[in-house]
Amino acid sequence: MIIVKSPLRISLGGGGTDLPNYFQKYGGFVIGIAINRYITIVINQNLKNRFELKYSEYEISKKISGIKHKIIKECLKLFSVKQGLEISSFSDVPHGTGLGSSGAFTVCLLKALHEFFNKKISNRDLVYLAFKIERTILKRPVGYQDQIASCYGGITKQVYDRKGFNVKKIKPTNKIINEINKNFLLIYTGIQRNSEEILKTQENKSKNEDTKIIQNLDEIKKIGKQVYKMINENNFKNYGSFLNKHWEAKKKLNYKINNRNSKKIIKICKKNKVEGLRVVGAGAGGYILAYSKNIEKLKKELTLKNIIFIKFKLDTIGTDVIYNNNLIK
């Protein structure tokens, strides 16, 4: 049996500039963090020599070709799996909520399969392989930031150009760690959504050099660099203003990013003097990231209104094998 967990992610700045149609022309820059909310995958031998898959659904298939879950199917194809396997996945948050769960799932499964079949893989190669599964094979409009944050953990500086990406794992001070662990909150809008339509629209407009889209992504990239400077200077005092700027630029990418549910929560946050906020991921639902020096006051208000929220801390490890009792060694 193999058990692997991969953290979900939040971009502190620059999110969206990791999409190839933008960064291959203009360059991308993302500051991402991994959080202590996880995708966990368990792989075990199946003595009935079939594939039993347990995720939000339950599948049984005698052949890889009969598997419905596209990511699992393509990952198994890479290993030319001939024996039966049981694969179970668990998530700390709902799928489709803007925390990079699809990328974390792919990374986690690939790491678990490598471990199961006694193969080594570096974080960099794991990122590229997960990206290949989602974007090249399954044609999904994804970037690299989800896979990078999940693989490496901690705070990552991600720089993109025509050749691909470079990652630097930033060693934060205790002050920055405390800021992340104490002053952030993820507030659930109650909406799970498929981000593909929004991301495809953004990518097509970037490809066609839509002036407004490029300008907004340029602004988001600039914010990412400013956040990186703040971390280097060990001063998170004005992060709320950058979070608000990021949200204003992001809303201009697609009008569907903002909706009635998010507007309602944003209004509550502003009444409680939250310094900064934005919808995470592609938008149109999922979670709102709020930053406040008085987060306890906001939590009480949200609790009174029966709005779900989660606190989180920085994950420093990244994708991790937490149990290995591999009987095929």
Domain topology for 174-310: Alpha-Beta Plaits (3.30.70)
The model's pTM is 0.92
Per the structure block, which two tokens stand in for 120? 């080594």
What pLDDT, on a 0 to 100 scale, did the predictor assign at position 209?
74
What pLDDT, on a 0 to 100 scale, did the predictor assign at position 143?
93
Task: Give the rounded distance of the alpha carbon of 43 from its chain centre.
Answer: 22
pLDDT digits (tens, 9 = 90+) for 62-74: 999 999 999 999 9
**307, 272 contact by CB (below 8 A):** no
What pLDDT, on a 0 to 100 scale, did the predictor assign at position 18?
94
Structural domain boundaries in the chain:
2-171+317-324, 174-310
Topology match between the domains 2-171+317-324 and 174-310: no
What pLDDT, on a 0 to 100 scale, did the predictor assign at position 328?
56
**CATH number for the domain formed by residue range(s) 2-171+317-324:** 3.30.230.10
Q: Indicate if the pLDDT at residue 197 is higher than 70.
A: no
Q: What is the mean pLDDT of the chain?
A: 90
